């Protein structure tokens, strides 16, 4: 799929105006899971965050983690880092990776990671104090990359700061902005609720490029409520999709979870995730509620060493659920 470099809403419309999107997730938004969700009305996905420096320097890591197919369209490749030229080179290189031309529609810059290592290595949400640098990164990517650059940010406590940050990023050349309505401090056990009011106010000021809202989207109804309230073009969901990969098709009943877990494991046979642990993580999250009544199966899943054994455990769970055991 060749994409001339489109801007803002022309870019968005060229992707069929996605409303329901999967947020980037380290170790969890890998190809097999993206394809699963895309089978159930997820209309745009992101790769997990990729360290731009590692991507450039470590060929083995790059090859191992790079996964995409034409069914994976449309895909945003998310990078993190703080060096404009390293990010640019990483962005250019990813476009030459296998199948990139069939699926990759743009490069996303991670400006939201709140973790300690992001602080140590000065990237993600720790660039919120280095706005001159952020401007430089976004401008270079906008100017030099053959695909549009998009950004994912967190909010400041102060709404005016959030708005001027978003405007600066837009002015530097960002073509689509995802706003996670939590501050950098809202993470881990003190995550709390996302602030849709802040997202709404950013949207009111940023009208000329698409804005996606992120935070607290657990069901299709949440997605619709959020779009209705914030007037954003679409939403990103992370935790909601991990538990209910079919959530954007309106189906999040427990019965369908076993079917989804089986479908996911079949996709993994075709596209093995870079690490085995990604698979375990997904199956546990999808089947969380059902497994709570079957401690023995939980144990067997936790100790399963192959995809086939995991599949057998899921089949056994299916049998028990059908027989209401």
| β partners of residue 107 | 77, 149
Q: Near ligand FMN by CB under 6 A, which window of 51-59, 236-244, 254-262, 287-295?
A: 236-244
- Under the binding rule (CB under 6 A), the answer on residue 240 touching ligand FMN is yes
CB of residue 180 vs ligand FMN: minimum separation in angstroms? 4
- Under the binding rule (CB under 6 A), the answer on residue 81 touching ligand FMN is no
Could you count the other beta carbons within 10 Å of the beta carbon of residue 16?
10
DSSP 3-state percent helix, strand, coil across the chain (nearest 5): 55, 10, 35
CB of residue 125 vs ligand FMN: minimum separation in angstroms? 9
d(Cα 156, Cα 100) in Å, to the nearest integer? Answer: 34
What phi and psi, each to the nearest 5 degrees, are found at residue 150? Answer: -125, 160
- Under the binding rule (CB under 6 A), the answer on residue 186 touching ligand FMN is no
- Under the binding rule (CB under 6 A), the answer on residue 234 touching ligand FMN is no
Residue with tokens 């009208």: 207
CA quadruple 247, 252, 255, 261: dihedral sign? positive
151 is catalytic: no
- Under the binding rule (CB under 6 A), the answer on residue 214 touching ligand FMN is yes
What dihedral do alpha carbons 230, 192, 107, 147 form, nearest 10°?
A: 0
CB 8 within 8 A of CB 210: yes
Binds ligand FMN (CB under 6 A): choice among 53, 152, 170, 307: 152
Please pick, among 37, 113, 226, 232, the residue that the annotation labels catalytic: 113
Mapping DSSP to helix (H, G, I), strand (E, B) and coil, where does residue 243 land? Answer: helix
Binds ligand FMN (CB under 6 A): choice among 210, 215, 234, 273: 215
CB of residue 280 vs ligand FMN: minimum separation in angstroms? 13
Binds ligand FMN (CB under 6 A): choice among 237, 282, 310, 311: 237
Binds ligand FMN (CB under 6 A): choice among 12, 40, 48, 252: 48
- Under the binding rule (CB under 6 A), the answer on residue 23 touching ligand FMN is yes
């Amino acid at each position: 799929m060749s994409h001339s470099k489109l801007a803002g809403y022309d870019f968005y419309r060229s992707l069929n105006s996605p409303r329901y999107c999967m947020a980037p997730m380290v170790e969890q938004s890998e190809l097999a899971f993206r394809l699963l969700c895309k089978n159930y009305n997820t209309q745009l996905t992101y790769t997990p965050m990729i360290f731009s420096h590692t991507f450039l320097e470590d060929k083995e890591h790059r090859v191992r983690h790079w996964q995409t197919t034409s069914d994976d369209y449309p895909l945003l490749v998310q990078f993190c880092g703080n060096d404009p030229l390293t990010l640019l080179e990483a962005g250019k290189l990813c476009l030459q990776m296998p199948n990139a031309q069939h699926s990759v529609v743009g490069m996303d810059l991670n400006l939201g990671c709140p973790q300690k290592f992001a602080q140590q290595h000065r990237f993600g949400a720790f660039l919120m104090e280095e706005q001159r640098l952020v401007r430089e990164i976004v401008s270079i990517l906008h100017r030099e990359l053959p695909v549009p650059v998009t950004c994912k940010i967190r909010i400041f406590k102060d709404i005016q700061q959030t708005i001027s940050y978003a405007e600066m990023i837009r002015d530097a050349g960002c073509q689509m902005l995802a706003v996670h309505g939590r501050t950098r401090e809202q993470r881990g056990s003190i995550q709390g609720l996302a602030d849709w009011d802040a997202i709404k106010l950013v949207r009111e000021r940023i009208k000329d490029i698409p804005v996606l809202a992120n935070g607290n989207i657990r069901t299709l109804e949440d997605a619709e409520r959020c779009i209705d309230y914030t007037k954003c073009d679409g939403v990103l969901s992370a935790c909601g999709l991990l538990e209910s990969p079919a959530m954007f098709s309106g189906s999040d009943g427990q019965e369908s979870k076993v079917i989804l877990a089986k479908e996911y494991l079949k996709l993994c046979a075709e596209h093995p995730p870079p690490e085995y642990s990604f698979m375990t993580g997904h199956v546990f999250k999808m089947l969380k509620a059902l497994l709570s009544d079957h401690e023995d199966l939980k144990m067997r899943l936790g100790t399963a060493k192959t995809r086939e054994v995991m599949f057998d455990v899921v089949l056994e769970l299916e049998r028990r659920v059908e027989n209401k055991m």
